[in-house]
Amino acid sequence: MAEPVCAAPDPDAWHQSVVMSPLLMAARSTYVKAVRGALAAAGLDDLPPRGPFVLGAVANHGSTLADAVAGLDITKQAASQLVDTLVMRGYLERAPDPDDRRRVTVTLTERGRAAAEQTREAIAGVDAALTVRVGADAVATLRAGLGALVELGADAHLAS
């Protein structure tokens, strides 16, 4: 089957008249629904809303508490409560950092690794379906655009 090619935007397509921010929220919802469905199917449906993000961060980026909650834009207290919930529900283990007692490390339990894998697979499924629908070049362009939007937000944050 030939790779889909994104033609010039259709000015009559439903999404052309929608403001960008609701489109972004709805697009995020596509991922959330896929992740929640995959977790529920695996019997891992007790994760708090930001739990999959934290598990993914621990799986991919490191094991300190700060690493796990970086990018969530929540208070330290809320981050600590979120991690407490993940520990109590058996997704994470928390321990003092052996090199710096002021820091706390978090590691995935077997349950946490299973949830992180289900999350990763669900996201990959959405990404694959999107690639089939619009093509790899359009997905790469979308990633570039979203990256630029994130950078604009960071620039605006630094300027204020």
Mean pLDDT by 10 residues, the chain (160 residues): 59 77 93 97 95 92 78 86 95 89 88 97 97 93 92 72
Tell me phi and psi for residue 107, to 5 degrees: -130, 155
Domains of the chain: which residue ranges? Answer: 30-134
pLDDT at 24 (0 to 100): 92
pLDDT at 35 (0 to 100): 97
End-to-end CA distance of the chain: 49
pLDDT at 160 (0 to 100): 53
pLDDT at 51 (0 to 100): 94
pLDDT at 97 (0 to 100): 82
C-alpha distances in Å from residue 26, one per residue of 77, 132, 154 = 29, 19, 22
C-alpha distances in Å from residue 141, one per residue of 11, 124, 146 = 19, 17, 9
Q: HSE of 116 in the Cβ direction (CA atoms, 13 Å)?
A: 21
Could you give the 3-state DSSP secondary structure of residue 108?
strand
Token representation of residue 139? 């997905």
- In DSSP terms, 49 is beta-bridged to none
Segment 25-41, tens digit of pLDDT: 999 999 999 999 999 99
Closest CA relative to residue 90, chosen from 68, 106, 74, 79: 106
Closest CA relative to residue 112, chosen from 56, 156, 41, 38: 56
Rg (CA), the chain: 19
Q: How far apart are CA 1 and CA 122, in angstroms?
A: 24
pLDDT at 108 (0 to 100): 95
- Specify burial of residue 27 (Cβ count, 10 A radius: 0-12, 13-18, 19+): middle
Instruction: Name the pTM for this structure.
Output: 0.83
pLDDT at 136 (0 to 100): 94
CATH class of 30-134: mainly alpha
